[in-house]
Structure 1
Amino acid sequence: MSPSGAEGIIYERSCCYQKNIKMVVSVFGAWDWAIMAATMVASIAIGLYFRFSGGKQATNEEYLLADRNMSILPVAVSLMASFMSAITLLGVSAENYYYGLQFVVINLSYGIATPIASKLYLPVFFGLQKTSTYEYLEMRFGPQIRMLASLTYTLQMVLYNGIVLFAPAIVLESVTGLDRLISILVVGLVCTFYSTLGGMKAVLFTDLLQSALMFGAVFSVVVFASVQLGSFTEIFVIAKEGGRLDFSNFSLNPTERHTWFSLIIGGLVTYLSLYAVNHTQVQRLQTVNTLDRSQLCLWWSWPVLSVLSVVTCISGLSIYAVYKDCDPFLSKSITAIDQLMPYYVVQAMKDVPGLSGLFVAGIFSASLSTISASCNALAAVTLHDYVGRWCKVPPSYVPWLTKLAACAYGLVFLALAFIAEHLGGILQAALTIFGAVGGPLLGVFTLGMFTTYANERAVSISLLTGMAATLWISFGGPRPPVTKLPLSVEGCGFNVTQVPASTANPSDFFYLYRISYMWTSPIGFIWVMFWGTVISLLWRQQQPWERKGQAHPDPELFTPPLAKRLRARQGDKPAVQCKLLQSNGVED
């Protein structure tokens, strides 16, 4: 989250200092370019290999779900890589630099959420074996909510991925000296090419390569800073002196930006909205052949995600330890806090051949993995939720249409990335949309799986009003400034002119605009659960099974504990036994 308000200090720098900044704009050498080129070539090669090997994607299931025969490792790593974008790597490191290490507490919520997702949500999707996650909503409620949810997902992912492609290009322009438009074209076209040709298998295996580079990028920052400071422990000594290791905020006040409660509860709902019901992740979890293996994929993705998250947090502390006496943002060496990590690479790693290339390859890989995941997932939703509903498509044409859809989405991301340069504040708005719709959508799926009374009319109304509420809370303003932890400029070595810091009193701002962004998803989730329940009970509507003349709901549509009770109540018998009884004229 970018801070707002005056930072309180303006610097007057000499011409010589400005020239020095320009001199390190392009730090790429031959080894750096070689590493970057090798990353792109390897990604394309993987796509070509899976396009022209094996079954050649004769069926849509092979293209979108890797024929459901993938091994656990690539799926587990891909689950992590799908939403660990370059924005995440750059943003989390800056978060810990300017606001402290308390953010790392969010990893505890991932450990709590993983068994919930694997035991209560995943069995429903895996048992139904549907290509689109939103097919479940039509089976449970009806076609209206399926279309509403899939359109929401499509808009969310299109906006987000345009920014995923654009934002790193701005930041990394300062490292490579490469024009941002060329960066966007290279990453966008390479990603569109291999994900369109190779399908899900190419996406999963390139995620393995790209994840290794992501780890290499953040580890290189920590290792290099440790060498500069003399030891790894020195990072934490300096961070503690700067107030970055304070974990004492247990406040229940929702206006406090980060507390134990906001991070654990907000992180829990956010994780479930991504890993329990988001189509991008559910699609990956169905690329293995058994539920047990799918659950193992989810379990193994948790430590992979947490390790990368923790190391990225530590990388922010590492950079703080190096710049504790001359903050780059206050000194105007960078114009946004997300440029912090690339700035460190420019300043500290430029003399080590290949290290800058490794870092940039890792950041670009984070974008590649997110965009390729979205191309494939959105193609599945388009073919099954839109085209399949309105058109009769011959089965032989479906695989080709799916590939065209994946390619089209890649080109749409490219177009949005170019337009994004001129959208200004819309960038932050689109990122906020990504978080604001997750909680309400989780609420819809939860009402469907955990209750038998929720109906289509109620969940449609609660979803629309819930998203309106979360977007209002997220976008409304004016908003109070976010206060950073203490920063120093004593070691910068150039003249400083201080101006008064912002004296705005947070209590002067409207209460909802002061609520921490970590509570946005929980608020949306609770809103949908509450109003979906109230409206369902007060305004009854026929359920899908009632419209079909069935007395009982299908237990397969509900979370395992509820499904077990429904089967016991209905006295379900094995299918063969039921047919035998019916053939003898016995009513079930």
Structure 2
Amino acid sequence: MGESAIIGDDSAKHFGTVDYLVFTLMLAVSAGIGIFYGCFGNRQTTKDFLMGGRNMGIVPVTLSLLATFFSAIALLSVPAEIYLNGTIYIMIAPAHFAVMGVSAYLYLPVFYNLQLTSTYEYLELRFSKPVRILASFVFTVQMVLYQSVVIYAPALALSQVTGLHLYGCVTALFAIVIFYTALGGIKSVMWTDVVQIIVMFGAMIVVLVKGGIDLGGFGNIWNIAVDGGHVKYFDFDPDPRTRQTTWTLWIGAFFMWLAIYGVNQAQVQRYLTLPTIRQAKMAIWLNGLGRFVLLILNVLTGLVLYAKYSKCDPLMSKRIRTTDQILPIFVMDSLGDFKGFPGLFVAGIFSGALSTVSSGLNSLASITLEDYVKYFYPDISDHRATNISKFSSVMYGLLSFGLVFIAERLGGIFDVSFSIFGMVGGTLLGVFSLGMFVPWCNSKGAFWGTLTSLVFMLWLGIGTSMAKSGIRPASKLTLSVEGCSNFTAPRSNFLNQAGQSDEISEFYKISYYWYALIGCCLNMMVGTVVSFLTGKQDPRDLNPQLISPPCDQFVNKFVPLHIRQKICWDLGVHIDGDNSKNQKYAGNHELGAINGKS
């Protein structure tokens, strides 16, 4: 049984020349890829800029999928989450694999068979233009907010370990990501993702190896974690106010990540760059495997942090401002004397942020062109459409840059990012699910279901944020400062005492892990009820490609014929994705006449 390493609170070390060179090299590689595809590649068409010509390889797509929402959230906040609350977070793994299966077999076939550029084209084909505009606007707000949060995290980390001004770091990061995204399009985004995910893996492995050596091996680290009650896998508390339980990680997190992998524009757009649906499904499953490996690395990193700082918590001893800074502090304490390693680590953090923001900017450019510009200018030339897409990338980047100054006041990036995806992602998952699995839903039902769900979830999410403003999240574990050599404050468990205020309404204590499930179910319930009250959609008037194929197959196989006739379930024949990859149903105006808009 080992003891946690005892540290002092000496001033933090900062970057050296070699660190700056390593970090700058990573930025130069990202910029260089953008310059190559923007200036020296083949002439860019809109299809090339947004969809990579639909002929990308499975390796870059898989790694890009992995990098897009891995980001600085995973590199910084997940290890900090393990440090604060133990290993229960690893129970999210089953949800991840379930999400991959549902995304690949229930949602992907619809988007792939229609060969869409914007996922929101589907909502116009299935429902109406107002539903499409509403949903794409909601997605735009979601991504702009998320990008500002995901940029703030690495900028804060870089400021911590380099001594550079925080806003200078933010500016540098946005400048480089806007440059290569606007110049090179999705090909530059995806190939920089490949480089960046390799850097992220490298940074985490270096941190783990050095931490294991310094703390006496992983056997000793494990013993420290067990002795501190840090190893725990199951908590079946049914109370929805409990922030993190087995139920929230199995069920709540499933819906949250399904909203990302199933219907999110940034992910679906990558699926559609592959030549066949079989390759797209394979990319999704490989991405799931990669996410599991990264989860294990994150959990191990969190245990290393606990072994190092459980007796001298950096937040309690005032060495850091937020728990998101604990991993950068560890890197400087453990690797500060090794030239180049801190630079590699910060490059890894920046890589996570760059990949997420570049993917977001490219997806926002896609929906701006497809959902707004082409609505007013349907005959726009390809050259002008490409330029508008590039201009959109720049504008969204600048908007996200401006919102960073709000993001820094929202609290820890782990809670904030999950809350954003829960509030908005669940609503969007609901409207797509209505379209693919409820053929009786009409456009009125979809519109009012989406609007009702959005308003309710914003009320819940924003109200919770305001109610908890200034209240420090509680840790379920014992953290102290008794091992700090130069700290004289009362040695009480400050983090454990700083729980939620009893004055907060019970409504605002609902765990944000449930947000996506609540938003999705509310949307589907309201949408279905409104549809039946206003004259439900006749499924026989729908193009079969608008309904999820497994859903149709299940009904045809297990529901008796007389019941199918009674509910008007006669959707025709689905076309296999591999054989229809060149048929762009979204561009067929005849669909508008047969999709049964109500």
- After TM superposition, the score normalised by the length of structure 2 is 0.86
Q: Sequence identity of aligned pairs in percent?
A: 37
Could you say what secondary structure the match of 2:490 adopts? strand
The alpha-carbon deviation at position 189 of structure 1 amounts to 1.2
Counterpart among 551, 555, 561 of residue 550 in structure 2: 561
Compute the displacement of 1:469 (Å): 2.3
- 2:515 aligned partner, one-letter code: T
> Please, which of 513, 520, 523 is the counterpart of residue 515 of structure 2?
520
Q: What do the CA deviations read for 1:348-375 (whole angstroms, capped 9, x no partner)?
A: 2111111101100000111110111011
- Say if 2:456 is the partner of 1:463: no
Aligned to 1:9: none
Higher deviation after alignment, 556-565 or 149-158: 556-565
Residue in structure 2 matching 1:496, options 481, 489, 501: 489
Q: Does the Cα contact within 8 Å between 2:235 and 2:245 map onto a contact in 1? A: yes
Quick check: 1:142–1:456 contact (8 Å CA) kept in 2? yes
Q: Report deviation, 1:376.
A: 0.7
- Counting only pairs closer than 5 Å after superposition, residues 70-469 of structure 1 correspond to structure 2 as 70-392=56-378, 393-417=380-404, 419-420=405-406, 432-469=419-456
SS of 1:496's equivalent in the other structure is: coil
Query: Secondary structure of the equivalent of 1:530?
Result: helix
Number of the residue aligned with 1:552: 541
Partners of 2:350 and 2:187 lie apart in 1 by 20
Deviation at 1:261, TM superposition (A): 1.2
Structure 1: unaligned runs, 5 residues or longer: 1-16, 546-550, 575-588
- Alignment of 1:483 onto 2:474: yes
Q: CA deviation at 1:211?
A: 0.4
Give the letter for the 2:483 counterpart.
Answer: G
Q: 1:519 to 1:217 in 2, by over 3 A?
A: same
- For 1:55, the equivalent position in structure 2 comes to 42
Shift of the alpha carbon at 1:328? 0.9
CA distance in 2, matches of 1:500, 1:324: 11
Tell me: CA distance 1:504–1:120, structure 2 relative to 1, closer, same or farther (3 Å).
Answer: closer
Partner SS for 2:20: helix
Write the distance in 1 (CA, Å) between the matches of 2:463 and 2:400: 27
Shift, 1:87, TM fit: 2.8
Once residues 170 and 572 of structure 2 are traced to their aligned partners in structure 1, the CA distance between those partners, rounded to angstroms, is 59
Q: 1:205 to 1:500 in 2, by over 3 A?
A: closer
TM-score under structure 1 normalisation? 0.88
- Could you tell me whether the CA contact under 8 Å between 2:182 and 2:394 is conserved in 1? yes
Q: Displacement, 1:191?
A: 1.1
Deviation at 1:431, TM superposition (A): 6.3
Question: Residue 219 of structure 1 contacts residue 315 of structure 1 at CA under 8 Å; is this kept in 2?
Answer: no
The 1:510–1:424 alpha-carbon spacing in structure 2 relative to 1, beyond 3 Å, is closer
Once the two structures are overlaid, the 10-residue window that deviates more, 493-502 or 293-302, is: 493-502
Q: Distance in 2 between matches of 1:336 and 1:233?
A: 29
Distance 2:154 2:24 in 1: 17
Q: What are structure 2's unaligned runs of at least 5 residues? A: 1-7, 557-563, 576-598
User: Residues 531 and 537 of structure 2 are in contact (CA less than 8 Å); yes or no, is this contact kept in structure 1?
Assistant: no
Looking at structure 2, the residues matched to 97 and 118 of structure 1 have their Cα atoms a distance apart, in angstroms, of: 33
Q: What is the CA distance between 1:571 and its match in structure 2?
A: 5.7
The number of residues matched between the two structures is: 546
CA distance, structure 2, for counterparts of residue 255 and residue 423 of structure 1: 23
Q: Is the 8 A contact 1:75 1:284 kept in 2?
A: yes
Distance of 1:300 and 1:573 partners within structure 2 = 26
Question: Per the alignment, do residues 503 and 101 of structure 1 end up closer, same or farther by CA in structure 2, a change over 3 Å counting?
Answer: closer
CA distance in 2, matches of 1:134, 1:402: 17
> How much does 1:508 deviate?
6.3
How far apart are the structure 1 equivalents of 2:343 and 2:142?
A: 32
Deviation at 1:51, TM superposition (A): 2.1
2:153–2:324 CA contact under 8 A, matched in 1: no
Per-residue CA deviation, residues 106-128 of structure 1 (Å, 9 max, x unaligned), is: 12101111111100100000000
| Distance verdict in 2 for CA 1:181–1:475, change over 3 Å | closer
Q: Is the 8 A contact 2:545 2:574 kept in 1?
A: no
Instruction: State the one-letter code of the partner of 2:434.
Output: L
Counterpart amino acid of residue 524 in structure 1: G
Paired AA for residue 299 in structure 1: W
Q: Which residue matches 1:582?
A: none
Shift of 1:133: 0.4
Per the alignment, in what secondary structure is the counterpart of residue 75 of structure 2? Answer: helix
